[in-house]
Each structure stands twice: as structure tokens, then as C-alpha cells.
Chains A and B, each alone.
Chain A
Amino acid sequence: MDTPPTSATAVTRKKGLTKKLVISMLLVGALPLLIGLFLAFYQGTQKIQEVNGTSFKALASETARKLDLVVADEVSHTSLLTTDVNLIRFLEDQRDGLSTLTSANLSEVLAQEQTAWEAGDLDSTKRITQGPIAENLRKHIEGTYIDPGHPIPIITRSTTRALYITDIAGRIVASVDTNPSYLHAEELWWQSAFHKGVGQPFLGPIAFDPQLQTYTFTLALPIMDSLRYEAIGVLRRVYDTKEFFAPSIDTIRFGETGHVMLIDSRGVVLSCPILPTGTSLSDNQLIPLVTPMQAGWTPAPSDGHGGQDTSIIGFAPLTNTNRITEASNGLGWHMFVWQSSEELFAPIQQFFRWTAGFGLLGVGLLVTLGYLAAHRITSPIRQLQEAARRIGRGEFQEPLTISTGDEIEELAEEINRMNKQLASQFAGLESQVQLKTEEVKYLQESTSQILDSVPDPVFMITKNNTIEYLNQASKEILELSGNGSIIGSPLFQILKVDPKTQNKLEGEIHTIQTTSLQLDVPPLSTPAISELRDPLAQSGWDQSVGTRPELRMRHRTYRYRWFTVEAGPGKEAFVGLVLRDTTEESALQDRLIQGEKLASLGVLSSGIGHELNNPLVGVIGLGEAIQDEEDISNMKGYAKDIVQHGKRMASIIRDFTGQMTSQSSEKVPIDIHAPLTRAMNVVQAQFPNSAITMHKEFGSVPLVRANPYEIEQAFTNILTNAFQAIQGTGTIDITTALNEGHIDIRIADSGSGIAPTHLPKVFDPFFTTKSQGEGSGLGLTVAYRIVKKLRGHIRLEDNARQGTVCHITIPIPGEVSIPRKEDE
């Protein structure tokens, strides 16, 4: 049925349409779905970031404010200790006492006291840890201290790890325990709080205290003199960092991982429910992000807790506290709010998973439904396609039944209609084709039969000189049987001729093939008898045997002729060759010519004999008379007669041989009317008593090159012949006319006419119907020769009404261009 490529193409195309439809549906349905999904996810993520970031920022700010208050409260409570009047007076005394010492003495005293303190000297220990000031400090820590301005006891935290006071020299003057060293003037916190006597609060950085085995920070406050003119001492309080901040920070938890932490601007953790105090944030790049001077939130590349997920981090500086810490050591404290992104984005991821699941389901549904829909659309199209293909192959089929109710159904109806029309048209065509085929076959057969019935051999050859066809006659002369081996074989392998003839034939074939023209070959007929009848005519024998369309083969002579046969469209024309066996004809012709020659010779010899005999008899008789005659005058008379007879014989011989005696044979341009008129006059004069009238009707003719005497002789002979043919009265009509390069001269007489049996012989020498002595029978022969010398033609016809018509045609030579003379 199907050829494989067609079927494959069809299948590909079918798939293509379904695929396109499904893809279109996917694009229409699934693309917006996916875009919407992505946008929802993106928007959701952004929104969650924003909402959480803002919340984190708020939480960080709130916690920072709270810590600010806690720190401010702590500073404020602690500063109550520094305004104690007794303490100030004590320190003023210390200052005044020290001011009396020289610097060398001072160093010595300080060194001694330090040694005593470090050795645990009871006096100094007691003085410092048991004195009224130390007692105050202890009360403060224990929560029983009552400030004069604040009647309510201060509730302090149990986070204090050290609390002591130094004087203006930095030596310790009061402490709750003996742990601190004695001199502090070289320490950072002391110098910063004392600040060259100006005094400013110090809130120290977090550092590991090896003695306490914990991370601590310092609050140091200057103690001003009673005038608040200058600092006279410094109070130092050391806190356990974790314990100080944990109650405010570690309790703030949200979700599973959400929490708040306090870091300093180096990224060191002060307090965090997850990370231990004193550790640094895991990601250094995070630190500048979360420690600006304003509160805010940021999406960070890591969480600072060792995780590398994108995180949302809220942050806020401890504004008031940082004023102190940054003045103290350049470090600020910052709140840091964080929740693991896994937990943070869990809802949106859950949403995304669900939506993606539904989206996939939707896409699957789309593909299935799309495929079904596409199938519904393509299956009738496939039916149509199949139908169209079968119609195209000519396999007419049942009408299509598609009832989709749309354009496809209309198309199917159109195809059915087209199918019906095609079927009817094809049916008519088929019968016509059959008819034509039979006709062609009949034509071929009949042509073949005609050609076979032709007795002449006919060949058709291709351009390669091989035989395409040959008829029965050809086979017979070549003694061949069957067609198989002959068709396609070279012509000259079959047609065995001598090499010279073969060359000539090949040349002719080539000429025909290259020029595609019919060769101008003589008609395939025997040469005109009339031409052969004149044994003296030269032209008929000019052709040599080699140039004549003849060939000899198997001892037989054939005349041949070429012709071309048009082949079908796009094919090379054939060259045809027809042969005619002229062997017998040639023999007959030769015999005929021989007979004619002999007959003519008989007439000629009898004519010559007859014409010459009479004067000769006269000459003999006169000769004998002279022999017997004595009288000289008679003898002279006889001799004169003999001369006359001789002249007559000479004249006869001259006429016979056709030679003009005296007249010049020179050819000059002449108007033929002149010799014609002279000839008419001469003839008129010869027959003075005749009752014949001549009508001349001369047309306008050009000059011809001819001998005027000869042509006058020819006209004279013809006119004489016409006069002699008329018995009694009659007319002679002479007309001249120019006709297609010839001058036509017509001389019609109303005479007795010529018997049809005599017509072919009228130009033969010595042929005459007249009685002896009336004519020599050479007049028309002479006229014939003269006209032939001008390459003209002359013929006699029996006039339809009466008499004879002589037609003379003289060609006008092209090279002669002499102005025509008007001569009437």
C-alpha cells in the first residue's frame, strides 16, 4: 500500500499537530499557573521576610530599650554610693593627705601598703574591708542600703562579683572582699573613670576573669569632691555578664529557635540562650551588618550561629548605654534577634510544596485533556488526509462520514464532492484513453502494413546510423528474416555498398541530420524520356553516374531518396531512406535509348541521304554531261549548276550541324522584340500570297544577352513552321511577357495542329510531316538548340481550340542589368 517514506512523513506530521496542540494548551494553561506560583512564592517569601524583619526589628529595639533601662538603673543605683558625704569627705582627706607627700615618698608609701595588703595584713584588711565605707558597700550589695534620698531599700542583683573604692592615687580604700589587688591607677577602667580628674562613667568590655573563672564586665564611676570640681576617687563594680543580662534576655523566646541575644560591636556574645557568653559570631561578615547605629533588620547570608542559611536578623543598639561604653572603650552593645530560616520559611515552603503539587497535578490534567482534545481534532483531519492521499493516488473510495459539525465536516463534504466529480471525469478519460490507445495501435499496425506492402525498401535510421525500422521489402532484398537482430544494428552493416557510395551516403545523412532539412534530391522517377530522346542533347548526359542518387548492391541498381520522420516530443527525428530497384528500368532505358538512337540515326541518315542525294545526282549528271560536252560555254553552264548543287549541299550540312556560317556568334544585350519583329517581316516576305494575319502583343521585358542572328533564326524557323501549318487563311498571335524571372514568348497559330503521336518528335532532326522537298526537318531542331543555348525551354502544345502553341521561356540572367529599351 504505502511506500515507507510517505507513511513516515504522515506519521511525523500527525504527531506534530497533536504535539503543537498539547504545547499550546500547556502554554495557555500551565505557563500562567507556573508564573503565578512563582510570583506567589516570591511575594510570600518577600512578605514573610518583611513582616518578620519588621517584627524582629521591633523586638530588638524594645529589648535594647529595656536593657538600656536596666543598665541606667544599675548605674543610677551604683552612683548613689558615690555621693555619700562621708565617703567624699574621707576621700578629700585622703587627697589632701597625699598632696603633702613628695612623689618619691608617695611611691614608697604605696609600695609598703600594697605589700601589706597582699600579705593579708590584718590592719590593712580590717581597715579596708571592715570600715564604715566597706560596710556601706556590703549593705548595698545585700540590699539593705538605704539612700538618704530614697527611703525604700534598693533591690540589687546578686550578680556583683566585686565592689570596691579607690582614692585619687588609685589605691583601694574600701572593698567588700579581699580579692581585688591594691593599686589600680594603671588600669584602664580606673584611668577612664578618673579621666584626668574630670571623671566620667566607665562601662567595660566583656573579658574573662581568670580569678572568678567567668566572663565579667566593669562599671566604674568617678567619685567627685564636694564641689563637684574634680574626681577624688573611683568606685568599681564587677558583674558576671551572663548572670547580669540573662534574666532580661534569655527569657525572650519565640517559636522553636527564635531568640534575642546581646553582642558587642566586635561580635562577641554577652548573653545568648544558645551561644555561650564570650564566644564570637560564627560569621565575621555579619558583624557590620547587624551593628549599625540605628535599629533595623536585614536578610543575612548566615545566621551567626554556625548555620549558612539565609536569615532574617533584627538588630538595635543600646543607645544610652553605648554612650558610656563607646566613651569607655569604643565598643557598642547591640541587640540581635534571630530565628532559623528553616522555621521562618516553613509556612511558605509548605505552601509552595502544596501549590507545586497541585500545579503538577494541573499540568498532568492539562496534558491528558490536551491530548484528548488534540486527538478529537486531529483524527478527522487524519481521515481527511488519508482520503486526500487515496484520491491523489486514484483509489476512489467511499464517501467520508465526518460529523464534527464544524469546518472539518464542511471540508469533508467538499472532498466528497470533489471525489465524485473526479470519479466521473476519470471514467470519461479512461474510455477516451483506451480509444486513443487503440487508434494509435491501429495506426501503427496500418502504417506497418502499408509500409510492408510498399514494394520499395524503406529504412528508418537513428542519428547514430543504426536501423530503427525496415519494412518487408527491405528484408526481402537483404534476405533477412525477423526483426530482433536487425533493429539497432548499423545501417551499413546491413546495407553493403562499395566504400565510395557509403562515404557519399554518410555525408548525405550527416547533412540531413545537421541541417534538419529535406535534401533537394530529384524525384524518384525515371528520367524524362523526352530528355533522353535527343541523342544530340548534351544536358541530359552531363550527370556522371557518381553524382546520381543511385547505388549498386548485390548486382542491382537502386535509386534512393532521403526523408526525415518527425519523432515524438523530445526525441530525435529519424532519417528515412527509400530505395527503388531500377535495374530493369535502367536496362530498358538503355535499350530504349539505343533504339531511339538507332531510329534517329535512321531518320538522320535517310534525311541526309535524301537531301544530299538529289544535288549529288544532279552533280553526277552534270559531271557526266561535262565529260561529254565539248562546248566550253555549256561546260561553264554545267559547272555553274554543279556549284549551285554544291552550295545547296553545304547549306544542308550547315543546317544539320547547326553552325552559322558567316554571322558572328558574339552575344550582346538585346531586346528580343527586335529579332522577333525582323523574323516576322522575313516570314511575311517568304509567303507573300498567304492570307495570314499576325497579331503581336509585346509586354515590357528586360534585355537578354544573346546572339541576335541566332535568335532571329530561331523565331524565323518557328514562324515559318506556323505559316506552313496554316492552310489558307488563319491567324498567328505572338505575345511576350515577363514572368517570375523569365521572359515568356507565346506563338499560337490557327493551323492544323500536331498529332499527339508527333508531339514528342517535333524537335528531332529531319522529322517532318511535309512532303519531300517542302522542308528539311531541321527548322525546329535548330530553334531548339538556339533556345537551349540561352538556357531556355521550348515546347509545342496542341492548342485546345485550334492549331498549335509554341512556348518559349528565356531566363533573365541576374548579372545583366542593362536598362530596358522601349521598342515597339
Chain B
Amino acid sequence: MNRRGSNRYMLTTIFMFGLMTGINSGLQASDNQLLPDLSPEKVADYMHSIIEADRNIYTTYVVKRMQEQGIVLAREDWETKNAIPLPAQFLHLSSKLVAESGVGIRFRLISLWPIHRRNGPATEFERKGLESLQHSPESPQRGIVTSGKKKFFQAIYADTAINTACASCHNAHPLSPKRDFQVGDLMGGVVITIPLEQ
């Protein structure tokens, strides 16, 4: 494993610890016949609260403090510039790690105005969900989606600009399709996908 990989691994460990604990407890509950089945909505809600908490902690207590004390900056090209990942990249990296872990539950950060096209909505459900969240950010969009014969539960949670750094960075990025974000605006959503056993 090269340096860049180990860096990434270290930076996402904090997130993984909390996340895995939550997932494991949900699965144990569903395995245990004595306990009532845990609904996918609940699992998605648990996951989202952990994801959000981790990302907010990273943003507030790591990135901000590091930058304020002049120790290290967070920037997009952190891999080659001796920096740490942006909070959004933190989420992407943790999303990849979760996917690679093979537990089945996956999540993505998507937006109607993505800087990279791969982070746009993949399906009509996702597009509609994001559009709905624009009007009512507090109510996550949930539904059953299919891929071929496979069925999945998906929930989309609103992701807003929690500080000026989020908004100003997206407004200034050359690849950004939207450049008028304000603090508190909806910037995208976190899609949590849970495969449904048949």
C-alpha cells in the first residue's frame, strides 16, 4: 500500500468505527428471531445520523481547527499537496470503504449540481428525491427501487451547506454548475441503499 492509500485509510478510520458499530447492531437485531425485525427505514435513519455526525465532527473539529491553527489545509488535491480531504471527499472515501467492506448497505453523496458528473443522480427516483428535498429538506425521500430483478430500499437525506466554506468552495469551483449557494442551502443529498432479500 502506497502513501496516498495509507493516508486515505487513516483519515476515514474515525468514520468507519462509528458507522460499523451502528450497522452491526442493526444486523444482529434482524438475525435474532426473538427480536422484532428492524425496518429498513430505521436502519437508513440510524446510518444517516452516524454519517452526518461523523462528517460534521470532521468538518468542525478537524478541518476547521487544523486550518485555524495553520497545521494543515483541506483541499481537493489533498493527495499530492500534503493536505487533508475536503468534508465532501471524506464522505466519498468513507462511502467507498463501506462499499468495499461488502456488507451490502451502501451510501453515496449526490447532487443536482455535481462538480463531477458521476455524482449526479443515477436514477429518476434519485432526481425526483433531490427535487423534493429542495422543497422539504426535513423529510427524507424513501422508496423501493429495482435493478433488473434486484430490489433495494433507498432513502435520500438532505445535505445542506453547514458553513460558508461549503458554499464558497462550490461557488468558486470551475466545474461547478451552480454558483450561488448560501449557508443553509440544500446542496445535495445522501442516498442510502439497502438491498432487500428475496
Residue ranges of A at the interface with B (Cβ–Cβ < 8 Å) = 89, 92-93, 95-96, 99, 195-198, 200, 224-229, 293-294, 317, 319, 323, 326-327, 330
Query: CA of A229 to CA of B126 in the docked complex: distance in angstroms?
Result: 12
Residues of B contacting A294 in the complex (Cβ-Cβ under 8 angstroms): 80
Residues of B contacting A327 in the complex (Cβ-Cβ under 8 angstroms): 5
Interface stretch of the complex, out of B9-17, B23-31, B98-106, B162-170? B98-106
Partner of B193, one of A95, A198, A227, A293: A227
By the criterion CB–CB under 8 Å, are A96 and B122 in contact?
A: no
Partner of A226, one of B5, B100, B147: B147
What's the minimum C-beta distance from A141 to chain B, rounded to whole angstroms? 23
| Contact (A227, B96) CB under 8 Å given A196-B102, A323-B79, A330-B2 | no
By the criterion CB–CB under 8 Å, are A198 and B100 in contact?
A: yes
> In this assembly, does B33 line the interface, its C-beta being within 8 Å of a C-beta of chain A?
no
List the B residue with the shortest CB-CB distance to A224. Answer: B122
Residues of B contacting A293 in the complex (Cβ-Cβ under 8 angstroms): 80
> In this assembly, does B148 line the interface, its C-beta being within 8 Å of a C-beta of chain A?
yes
Residues of B contacting A330 in the complex (Cβ-Cβ under 8 angstroms): 2
Residue ranges of B at the interface with A (Cβ–Cβ < 8 Å) = 2, 4-5, 77, 79-80, 96, 99-100, 102, 106, 108, 118, 122-123, 145, 147-150, 152, 154, 193, 195
By the criterion CB–CB under 8 Å, are B79 and A198 in contact?
A: no
Query: CA of A656 to CA of B77 in the docked complex: distance in angstroms?
Result: 167
Residues of B contacting A195 in the complex (Cβ-Cβ under 8 angstroms): 100
By the criterion CB–CB under 8 Å, are B100 and A229 in contact?
A: no
Query: CA of A59 to CA of B113 in the docked complex: distance in angstroms?
Result: 35
Query: CA of A391 to CA of B79 in the docked complex: distance in angstroms?
Result: 95
List the A residue with the shortest CB-CB distance to B4. Answer: A326
List the A residue with the shortest CB-CB distance to B98. Answer: A198
| Contact (A227, B122) CB under 8 Å given A95-B148, A96-B150, A319-B80 | yes
By the criterion CB–CB under 8 Å, are A227 and B79 in contact?
A: no
Partner of B122, one of A197, A226, A323: A226
| Contact (A92, B147) CB under 8 Å given A226-B123, A228-B122 | yes
Residues of A contacting B145 in the complex (Cβ-Cβ under 8 angstroms): 227
| Contact (A229, B147) CB under 8 Å given A195-B100, A198-B99, A330-B2 | yes
Residues of A contacting B150 in the complex (Cβ-Cβ under 8 angstroms): 92, 96, 225
By the criterion CB–CB under 8 Å, are B4 and A227 in contact?
A: no
Residues of A contacting B118 in the complex (Cβ-Cβ under 8 angstroms): 228
Known contacts A227-B145, A229-B193, A229-B195; can you find 12 more A-B pairs with CB under 8 A?
A92-B148, A197-B102, A224-B122, A225-B148, A226-B147, A227-B147, A228-B118, A228-B122, A229-B147, A229-B152, A319-B77, A330-B2
Residues of A contacting B195 in the complex (Cβ-Cβ under 8 angstroms): 229
List the A residue with the shortest CB-CB distance to B77. Answer: A319
Residues of B contacting A323 in the complex (Cβ-Cβ under 8 angstroms): 4, 79
10 chain-A/chain-B pairs, Cβ below 8 angstroms: A92-B148, A93-B148, A96-B149, A195-B100, A198-B99, A225-B147, A225-B150, A226-B147, A227-B154, A227-B193
Query: CA of A196 to CA of B104 in the docked complex: distance in angstroms?
Result: 11
Specify which of A195, A228, A319, A326 lies most central, judged by the most chain B CB atoms within 10 Å of its CB: A228
Query: CA of A99 to CA of B106 in the docked complex: distance in angstroms?
Result: 20
Residues of A contacting B149 in the complex (Cβ-Cβ under 8 angstroms): 96, 99
Residues of A contacting B123 in the complex (Cβ-Cβ under 8 angstroms): 226-227
| Contact (A198, B147) CB under 8 Å given A319-B77, A319-B80, A330-B2 | no
